Chain A
Amino acid sequence: MFDFSIVTSFVDNLLRQTLGLGDFWTILIECVLVGLGILVGYALLAIVLIFMERKVCAYFQCRIGPMRVGPWGIFQVFADVLKMLIKEIFAIDKADLLLYYVAPFLVIIASVGTFSFLPWNKGMSVLDFNVGIFMITAISSIGVVGIFMAGWGSNNKYSVVSAMRGAVQMISYEMSLGLCLICAVILTGTMQMSGIVDAQTGPWKWLIFQSPTAIIAFLVFLVSGNAEANRGPFDLAEAESELTAGYHTEYSGMGFGFYYLAEYLNLFVISGLASAVFLGGWAPVNIGLDAFDHVMNLIPGIFWFLGKSFLVVWILMWVRWTFPRLRIDQILKLEWKYLMPLMLLVLILTTAWVALV
């Protein structure tokens, strides 16, 4: 199997030994390179996801989607991005300007932060340490603060209602999201992302095949992840038919662009986490037949990871374009009366499973 650490150690050696740079410069240059990589990957994925969403939703709705800009409309999103970049960013009267301007950055920080935890390939993950799972849940909560600040700082009544909804919903669903991840931690015995994926390599070793409780945890993870990413049927915070655009009503240009980016990348982060934690991440399909497994192992892990993630993304898009929106009390009821108790039960069962099997 292709191990990306060959590349990273080559670069490291190049800087340290061939160029003879000290610790400081080596790490600085490496950080800049990795940061660039992350941001470029982030932007490219956003463009792919937005295009995918437009096409997928079009086909669900008996339409063909964007077709004019470029062949099959593939440059439509580039045009949109360009438009968004050159739009004026203006401040509104009586807004709390500090909160108003800081909020989009918090949202994007949370999004990029969790994005950096994704294990792309063997030896290719940016942030990878022993309490990775905790760190992911911690960083993702920053986004709530951003949403709440945007809603409050905009001086718009729709935004305030939307911010309350967003905060209440995201804080609630973080409960079951965290519990799902803890189930995975119990099954794999590690909190490190690479460790979790490593534990899933080999024939029939993906987490959802390891234990029936993991299947439940995976499904709940998809539901609460969808809610965490504020996407339909949980898009109450935006709820365009009630609150026009919710907390980002008053943003223009890239201010709005950041929310838009973060929304799609959160979708990818949730799908990526789901595939990394429950579907084996970059681990290829292995069924125990040597010839078959060998062929599968030849395919680089990054393709497996992206393939699985986009499959989950597609499922979430399917859900979004099928279901109507829930109401706030129904959303909270779903979480606090059904999902959370269910996950507590699953947590106990998983512990028992690990102890007994």
Chain B
Amino acid sequence: MKLNNIELNFDNFAGEMVKLKSEKHFDYLVTIIGEDFGEEGLGCIYILENTQSHERCSTKVIAKQVGEDYVIPSVLKIWNAADLLEREVFDFLGIKFLGHPDMRRLFMRNDFAGYPLRKDFNMSPEANRFPTTDEPETDFTTEWNLDKHGNLVATRHRLFDEDDFVVNFGPNHPSMHGVLRLQAVLDGETVKHIYPHLGYIHRGMEKMMESMTYPQTLAMTDRLNYLCAMMHRHALVGVIEDGMGIELSERIQYIRTIMDELQRIDNHLLYLGTAAQDMGALTAFLYCMRDREHVLNVMEETTGGRLIQNYYRIGGLQDDIDPNFVENTKTLCKYLRPMIQEYMDVFGDNVITHNRFEGVGPMGLEDSINYALTGPAGRAAGWHNDVRKNHPYACYGQVNFKEITLDGADAMARYMVHINELYQSLDIIEQLIDNIPEGEFYIKQKPIIKVPEGQWYFSVEGGAGEFGVYLDSRGDKSPYRLKMRPMGLTLTGAFDRMLRGQKVADLVTAGATIDFVIPDLDR
């Protein structure tokens, strides 16, 4: 999607954004992209979606300079999803969002100096020594506002009360699926608050990509959510191909669709396994891992990779499919169908599982949209948010499959969405696998790939939600700004809302069923 930004300025921004939501029903905030536009200054692009017509629009606003600081009014009151998204922009670009109650850094350390995504950031190693001290922690957050004279004023908010029992879940914790740190304020067994801390595996991918050529940037995406390597790569090559206007052959589209779905099966199998493991049912975990092995074997024969797939490239695929791929995939589909029932027998239908999952982490339809709970988590609340249906890419427009939506809006519904999606993925693969057309697996590109000037956004349905890539090109051989919309960031942002008043054990349940992988949300 080429972006045609609605240009707003500081003064009319807040009003126009409210209007977009209330009058035009743009109620889903896809992402906020903070960018250093060069001479224009710092600013943000907001991508919004109307959840009824699935129409998307984007608005652009340039931050107002107040002394040394840059400010934009916060949209947190309009879209709750903006909470972590705005903190991310503040962290990377130093834009202060007026009225946001929690303007702390999100990924970088609290004592990090400078804002890395600004173009004038000093990248020299001497200026960026590896810190050898502990990160200073504060019990306070700051809210910034403008007073009537136009000066910035800070208001301090307390995060913890004196007698709060604060327990850190993570960064190193068995059920955090990586290095996420959830700071939970407990009252006995009951959760009072959850503050997520991110950045323990932040690698600055977006910054790195700005100094890489387009083919080089591809290597990054597999290292995000390593269970959705194919989908991530798909989004990145998708946005570049969009920008360059490359027409892909049918064969490429077919293979990409099949590979995406295989990857989804891989992701969902691991999800079902780890969900069981976090509930203490190790047996169900190993059943899923056993079958995931078969999926990986099928992919490995073609791509050579099991975790890091490295298969798509700009203009097609790295190589043609393996001669046995079609046969193996068909065997796999036949094998997997009855196995899904087995996961239900061994774990999903268990009475304890039902007791543990039902009513846990409730998040209704309205909240799901407001907090941008995309993917299976949102579909469990009845939100039709499947990118494959709403904005079809590759072959998804041609195949028959159901978008699974349930209305339980709790952990059980999220689990069931995953189970049912496995069947849908198998359906998609079986529809395509026999009809892969002949043709080129790679459309030859120029040795140096350049994308014409413009801004594009391309999103795919990842395993845990919408994964999108925004590309701002200035006609160069490397991107001017490349921003990824991770699947897990908004899911993590919803944790506090989801778990307040629930039990500690529910924190693990909610984390297990919401399916986040930390390298994806830290980037």
Contacts and interface: CB of A to CB of B under 8 A. Distances in A.
Interface of A: 57, 60-63, 157-158, 161, 164-165, 232-233, 235-236, 239-242, 244, 321-330
User: Which of B173, B186, B189, B277 has most chain A Cβ within 10 Å?
Assistant: B189
Contact of B283 (A235, A244, A321, A326): A321
A241 B278 contact: yes
Contacts of B167: 157-158, 161
Contacts of A329: 189, 503
A241 B283 contact: no
Contacts of A328: 189, 503, 505
A324 B286 contact: no
Interface stretch (B3-11, B313-321, B352-360): B352-360
A317 to B, nearest CB: 11
A157 B165 contact: yes
A327 B356 contact: yes
Given A232-B280, A321-B282, A321-B283, A327 B173 contact: no
B286 A242 contact: no
Contacts of A244: 173-174
A325 to B, nearest CB: 3
Contact of B508 (A60, A157, A241, A322): A241
Interface string B161-201: 00001111000011100000000001011000000000000
Contacts of A330: 352, 355-356
A212 B353 CA distance: 31
Contacts of A61: 282-283, 286-287
A233 B508 CA distance: 16
Contacts of A233: 280, 352
Given A161-B504, A328-B503, A322 B189 contact: no
Q: Is the interface of B mostly helix, strand, loop or mixed?
A: helix
Given A158-B167, A235-B280, A241-B278, A323 B352 contact: yes
Contacts of A241: 174-175, 277-280, 508, 512
A165 B186 CA distance: 14
B276 interface: yes
Given A61-B286, A244-B174, A327 B280 contact: no
B189 A161 contact: yes
B290 interface: yes
B505 A322 contact: no
B174 A327 contact: no
B350 interface: yes
B311 interface: no
Given A161-B167, A241-B175, 19 more contacts: A57-B282, A57-B283, A157-B167, A161-B186, A165-B189, A233-B352, A242-B505, A242-B508, A321-B283, A323-B280, A324-B284, A324-B352, A325-B279, A327-B506, A328-B189, A328-B503, A328-B505, A329-B503, A330-B355
Chain B: interface size category: 35 or more
B359 to A, nearest CB: 11
Given A157-B165, A233-B280, A241-B278, A62 B286 contact: yes
Contacts of A164: 188-189
User: Which of A60, A322, A326, A327 has most chain B Cβ within 10 Å?
Assistant: A327
Interface in B262-305: 276-284, 286-287, 290
A256 to B, nearest CB: 17
A284 B520 CA distance: 62
B280 A324 contact: yes
A161 B189 CA distance: 8
A324 B503 contact: no
12 contacts: A62-B290, A165-B189, A232-B280, A239-B280, A240-B280, A242-B505, A322-B346, A323-B281, A324-B356, A327-B355, A327-B505, A328-B503
A95 to B, nearest CB: 18
Interface in B480-523: 503-508, 512
A161 B505 CA distance: 11
Nearest to B509: A327
A62 B342 CA distance: 13
Contacts of A239: 280, 505
Contacts of B277: 241
Contacts of B186: 161
B347 interface: yes
B4 to A, nearest CB: 47
Contacts of B512: 241
Contacts of B166: 157
Nearest to B507: A242
B346 to A, nearest CB: 8
A235 B280 CA distance: 9
A209 B68 CA distance: 86
Contacts of B347: 324
Given A61-B283, A161-B167, A242 B352 contact: no
A322 to B, nearest CB: 6
Interface string B345-378: 0110010110110000000000000000000000
User: Which of B166, B278, B506 has most chain A Cβ within 10 Å?
Assistant: B278
A328 B173 CA distance: 20
Nearest to B290: A62
Interface in B222-250: none
B353 A327 contact: no
Given A158-B167, A244-B174, A325 B504 contact: no
Nearest to B281: A324
Contact of A327 (B276, B287, B503): B503
A63 B280 contact: no
A345 to B, nearest CB: 23
Nearest to A58: B286
Given A233-B352, A327-B505, A240 B174 contact: yes
Nearest to B172: A244
A193 B508 CA distance: 43
Contacts of B356: 324-327, 330
Interface in B140-170: 165-168
Nearest to A245: B174
B279 A324 contact: yes
Contacts of A57: 282-283
Nearest to A233: B352
Nearest to B285: A61
Contacts of B165: 157
